[in-house]
Structure 1
């Protein structure tokens, strides 16, 4: 009969193996995209036999999904920590100054998370190049509660007259996210074209605030 400590040790080893495999998979998927990534390469980077990868994740698609789910979980935890205190305010969607501050926090959160997850940026770039065919296969595995929550909040703010009439909540979310994503994706190219450092901490901070201003001023009504 196994000792409890041995079982804990095996559980710890399994957790470490999963983490190493996910880290390696994220690196390889970011470098080569889903189609170009090979399980052999992921196993080599992780330092584990590929049979263990199949044991944990079934196939390459299962591994890809697990990588994205881990990133999504990290985003959800960050969002809960930063936004929940703001969401608890009953006046959030009726007070212009509170809602404006909330939108700025959301934009900063999106931008900073993308900056801190460059491999995610590259994986999304590969998805776009491959026609989002892989994402379509696994999209149903991801929770859309956060999107629905923001949609309801934006709808309430619009009813309260804080957001311009006729502005579509889904379009707002799309513009907010894609603006951050596009800026960070094309920064290396623009640095070449403009011969200017656009990726320093100060430059990124300025860009983040300008994007927030662009989105907020574009959707909110003018103050009375």
Structure 2
């Protein structure tokens, strides 16, 4: 019994490891080429596994892409999800302008950290934007962070913290686009800005992004 169980555990572990290697390779290829130009042949070569195994695990290219997006989103959720959940559980936090500012600063910092640590996912998001989100809208997995952020915006606006002339539906869109576009464009302005590899510059840039967002979405009288 012990031997059989040991063999079964080894097989499960090997399968999980194999899936991880394939997803790592797929993420890099999708980030480099975008979904449309990415080829399963290239992913198979980069991962060291044959195409038949990839198809066995993920069905097709869209299924593989879905799992890449899902894994990245779940990692991001572990980093930023607690902030959003805390706000939604305790509505009193959304009645305090200072608490809302701290939330925005923390969420911005954690989002920047996640995207800089997972630059390939950032590039995937930008490929999607360039291709009008056609593939993203086909996948069955739907990250719910935008829905949660919309809920935060509705409550904050009802409590007079979010500016009244802002459509709450635009709240998550504006935040994500300010962060992703700033990070992606930083290389273009490197002679002026410097490299975000510097911890000091990364912190300074993160604070500036957070302040820009806060002043854009909060009721001006509370700033």
TM-score normalised over the length of structure 1? 0.90
Question: How far is the alpha carbon of 1:12 from its aligned partner?
Answer: 0.9
Aligned to 2:186: 187
Report the equivalent of 1:156.
155
List runs of 5+ in structure 1 lacking aligned partners.
none
CA distance in structure 2 between the partners assigned to 1:27 and 1:57 by the alignment: 17
Partner residue of 2:202 out of 201, 204, 216: 204
- With 198-207 and 34-43 compared, the bigger mean Cα shift is at 198-207
Describe the SS at the equivalent of 1:133: coil
Gaps of 5+ in 2: none
Distance 1:186 1:62 in 2: 30
Distance 2:183 2:44 in 1: 30
TM-score calculated relative to the size of structure 2? 0.90
Deviations 1:189-213 (A, max 9, x none): 1125x3x414222222111111111
Q: Indicate conservation of the 8 Å contact 2:87/2:152, yes or no.
A: no
C-alpha deviation, 1:3, in angstroms: 1.4
RMSD: 2.0
Output the CA distance in 2 between the equivalents of 1:111 and 1:176. 11
Show CA shifts across 1:55-110 (max 9, x none): 00011111111101000111112224455455544421111111221122122222
Residue pairs, 1:48-127, within 5 angstroms: 48-85=49-86, 87-127=88-128
SS of the counterpart of 1:188? coil
The aligned residue for residue 34 of structure 1 is: 35
Gap change, CA 1:54 and 1:28, over 3 Å in 2: same
Look up the SS of the partner of 1:165 in the other structure.
coil
2: distance between equivalents of 1:117 and 1:9? Answer: 29
State whether residues 93 and 100 of structure 2, in contact with CA within 8 Å, keep that contact through their aligned partners in structure 1: yes
Once residues 207 and 7 of structure 1 are traced to their aligned partners in structure 2, the CA distance between those partners, rounded to angstroms, is 49
Runs of 4+ in 1 over 6 A off after TM superposition: none
Q: Aligned residue for 2:166?
A: 167
Q: 2: CA distance between counterparts of 1:206 and 1:125? A: 23
Which piece of structure 1 moves more, 180-189 or 154-163? 154-163
Shift of 1:24: 0.7
